[in-house]
Amino acid sequence: MSRRAVLPDARRRAVTAVLGRQWGRPPARAVGAAYAPANVALVKYWGKRDEVLNLPNTDSLSLSLGPLGTWTSIRPSDRDRFRMNGRCLAANDPACTRLRAYLDLFRGPECPAFEVESRNTVPTAAGVASSASAYASIAIALDMLFGWRLAPGELSVLARLGSGSAARSIALGFVRWRRGRRSDGLDSRAEPLSATWPGLRVGLWMVRRGAKAVGSREAMRRCGRTSPLYAAWPATVAADLREVLAALRARDLERLGTAAEGNALAMHATMIAARPPVIYWTGATLRALAEVAALRREGVAVWATMDAGPNLKLLFEVREERALRERIPALRIVDPWDVRDAGAGGAEMPGVE
Ligand code: DP6
């Protein structure tokens, strides 16, 4: 894996390469507004070949979370003003620092600062990362504000510069992010797959709330540097990706679920073996995983995936909804293609009328 040193302004070079002669042009309208869904990776992004540009070591593949995501509106302003879920972000809030640095990539003489208003439709306690939907919605809203008319793959590059998994939140449904080979990352972009699966559902199963001790960015870095199991990760991803793509072609849930669950557990294995270890699981996580296995033994076709945290996301088809609601009353069920509940209208989203 190449570990080329990248200069701090590598992100700006990437932006100017994507925008070409459009970079620095004044806004085309008064406001840009967009929605982007959160996503759950069926084959995970875990480890970077470049930490400045968020270039991954491997491909990954996700499913969007339909109505769970972020609405963002952006206007030119005389000074930065950020509101998130109706509250002003304090200047020393880490989310504010990260957003300001991201917006630095797009400021120009005609547009020195931005007023950004973001609203998550993901309940804060749902155990779903919001940075993916946040940075994807910001990239799409900027595209609308400046009138760039970028293709999904180009929006994906811009979103990735904010957060890696945001690269996959630029579209609904199944999305594959190709790792790319270039050191500038211009070929590291996500694009929606043509596969659909209208009956597929995702269930969010919160077993524990509250902040985690180690953030996913740090956990990912620690695994790449210290976990003896990380060396096996790229080959695991390649095999799981083949399985998931074949499962999508055949609409074979058992094949999909087996690969996705195995991939998530393999990712956690790299974390557990890191030094110092990153153990997100609690007793409740293990009991929930055992319950999923028990449900399968009883004939309910359900599999679990997990991200950098203790909570589960279940994969199943609509016909299992009743059985699952009965057994897991707290399960929040999401239709990946349904964005009707996503909230305010008037914003653009590629692939959504
Ligand atoms: C476990 O996209 O949050 O959810 O690129 O550092 O912003 P950064 O990381 P982030 O990592 C997501 C990791 C994951 C797996 C996945 O979504 O593929």
* Predicted local distance difference test score (pLDDT) of residue 345: 44
Q: Does a structural domain hold residue 342?
A: no
Q: Does 231 lie in the same domain as 276? A: yes
CA of 282 to the centre of ligand 1 (A): 20
User: Which residues form ligand 1's pocket by a CB distance below 6 Å?
Assistant: 41, 44-46, 54, 60, 129, 131, 163-165, 216-217, 307-308
> Which tens digits make up the pLDDT trace of 196-227?
999 999 999 999 887 788 999 999 999 999 99
Residues 138 and 209 occupy one common structural domain: no
Indicate which residue's Cα is closest to atom 5 of ligand 1. Answer: 164
Q: How far is the CA of 109 from the centre of ligand 1 (A)?
A: 33
Residue 190, phi then psi, degrees to nearest 5: -105, 145
- For a ligand 1 pocket test, name from 39, 48, 70, 165 the mutation site with the most ligand atoms within 8 angstroms of its C-beta: 165
Structure tokens at 56: 């991954």
Look at residue 349 in the predicted model and tell me its pLDDT: 53
Ligand 1 centre from 26 Cα, in Å?
Answer: 32
Task: Specify whether 188 is located in the same domain as 260.
Answer: no
- Which alpha helices (DSSP H) does the chain contain, by range? 10-19, 94-103, 131-146, 152-160, 216-226, 233-250, 253-272, 283-297, 321-327
Which domain-ending residue is among 192, 218, 243?
Answer: 192
Please tell me whether residues 264 and 306 are part of one structural domain. yes
In a domain, 346, yes or no: no
Q: Are strands 87-88 and 81-84 parallel, antiparallel or unpaired?
A: antiparallel
Q: Is residue 282 part of a domain?
A: yes
Q: Is the dihedral of CA 122, 133, 287, 328 positive or negative?
A: positive
For residue 243, report the distance from its CA to the centre of ligand 1, in Å: 21
- Nearest-atom number in ligand 1 for the CA of 160 is 5
- Is residue 134 included in any domain, yes or no? yes
pLDDT computed for residue 1 by the predictor: 43
Separation of alpha carbons 39 and 49, rounded Å: 22
130 in the same domain as 50: yes
**3-state percent breakdown (helix, strand, coil) of the chain, nearest 5:** 40, 25, 40
172 and 116 in one domain?
yes
Q: Which residue stretches of the chain have pLDDT < 70?
A: 1-8, 123-127, 129, 341, 343-353
Tell me the pTM.
0.94
Same domain, 244 and 266: yes
User: What's the gap in Å between 131 CA and the centre of ligand 1?
Assistant: 9
Q: CATH number, domain at 283?
A: 3.30.70.890
Of 128, 157, 192, the one marking the end of a domain is: 192
Q: Which atom of ligand 1 is nearest to the CA of 43?
A: 18
Its domain, for residue 273, covers 200-334
Let me know whether 102 and 42 are in one domain.
Answer: yes
Domain count, the chain: 2
Give distance in angstroms: CA of 40 to centre of ligand 1: 10
Which residues does 166 contact at the CB level (< 8 Å), separation at least 6? 36, 131, 132, 133, 134, 135, 136, 139, 159, 160
Q: What confidence score (pLDDT) does residue 196 get?
A: 95
Q: Which CATH number covers residue 49? A: 3.30.230.10
User: Which ligand 1 atom lies nearest to the CA of residue 162?
Assistant: 7
Minimal-distance CA residue to ligand 1 atom 6 = 217
pLDDT score, position 339:
85
